[in-house]
Amino acid sequence: MTLSVNAVTTPAKRLLAAFLPIALLSVPLIAAPPQAVAQTADTLPNTSELDDLPLEEIQTLAEVFERIKRAYVEEVDDRTLLRNAMRGMLSELDPHSTYLDEDEFKSLRESTQGEFGGIGIEVGMENSQLTVITPIDDTPASEAGLMSRDIIIGIDGTPTESLSLQEAVNLMRGEPGTPLTISILRSGEDSPREFTLTREVIRTESVKHELLEPGYGYLRISQFQARTAAQAREALQNMADEGELNGLVLDLRNNPGGVLQGAVDVADLFLDKGLVVYTEGRLSDAQMEFSATPDTPADDMPLVVLVNGGSASAAEIVAGAIQDQRRGVIMGTDSFGKGSVQQIMPLGNGEGLKLTTALYYTPNGRSIQAQGIEPDVEVVRGRLEVADSRRQLREADLEGHLRSQGETRERQEVSKRLRDDYQLGEALNLLKALNVVDRRRD
């Protein structure tokens, strides 16, 4: 049987007739952010724009729709075909734009509220492979040892090569207490690793702090939420109450980003003036600038910011602002390079779009997208080992030794972490060196 391709059949004509007015009416609503859906003069398409619609391609789309309806091996309903077409339109734009059905839209809202059932990883598509951007602190994923850039090849026996990003996320989420097995490929290894994890309620606490040594603070931000800056300000005050701070390590490693305003407000804790970040996009609402304010609790103490390949988006905004304003030293490895802005646009049927609408730029005009932040001092991940095997045994090495007056279990834990975390230890050493230089200048 031969099917003619020279003319549009009647069903395709009906689709074309239905599609055209929908396409015309949708232009300003899809293009504008949620707060700007009113059809104002600068968002309405002009006559020339409507005349430029590719009618031949729309006709071809209608033909494809009709051929699938008539000839595909299994019957497919119109709703499924249309939603697949919308998903295809968005997925081919960039890895972060996507069409969200009602369940996916609900799942995204749950994520932004900071609590959901899962294993605690931020994932994305890199070279068409499902890749771990970063494990979230104190979750099954981080405790099991999953790492940034691990490639997930299987989820409970389902290969990921045919899954969309959202389908993979849906498979990994589930009821707390249920098991999940994932298979990963790690750079430099020939064979895959398998992890069996137990899902938990993932509550994302974004700020932790402690003193590494008297006078030297450690501020860990695992992601940026609405209250992150307020919590960080409180943490700085708590450390200052224990004595004068001579330096601070700001740890943004494996921080996948989050709320833009949260990142700007955290940068403002260390910057007392100047630009923090700006965005550029096609719409007027996508042109934004954010500047620091004089209300800055930590504008002069020596600062080292730790970043790595899991530092993305809002984390890169903070690191880029501090680097461009020469406020502190960026240490670690190149960051992830996610410098695009997504807006969540609800649709009238309870579904939604996540659409990339702008790009981030650092104060000096550097695009973060696909570039990332290059550290001032490169320090790779590692563990500090004692090279001299003839090192003398000391009282402190004996099991059950009596503790000195200043030694606590917390102090022991910090010392062990400094040995296990080479980057953190080097950051502390640099802070001490900066203090020596500052004292000589005084």
- Catalytically active residues, by annotation: 313, 324, 338
Neighbours of 71 (CB within 10 A): 9
The β-bridge relationship of strands 329-332 and 377-378 is parallel
Is 69 in contact with 11 (CB distance < 8 Å)? yes
Q: CA 417, 328, 247, 380: dihedral to nearest 10 degrees?
A: 20
Q: Are 209 and 197 in contact (CB under 8 A)?
A: no
Query: How crowded is residue 296: how many other Cβ atoms within 10 Å of its Cβ?
Result: 15
With beta carbons less than 8 A apart as the criterion, state whether 282 and 32 touch. Answer: no
**What sign does the CA torsion over 219, 225, 227, 229 have?**
positive
- Distance linking the first and last C-alpha atoms of the chain: 91
What are the tokens at 345? 């646009």
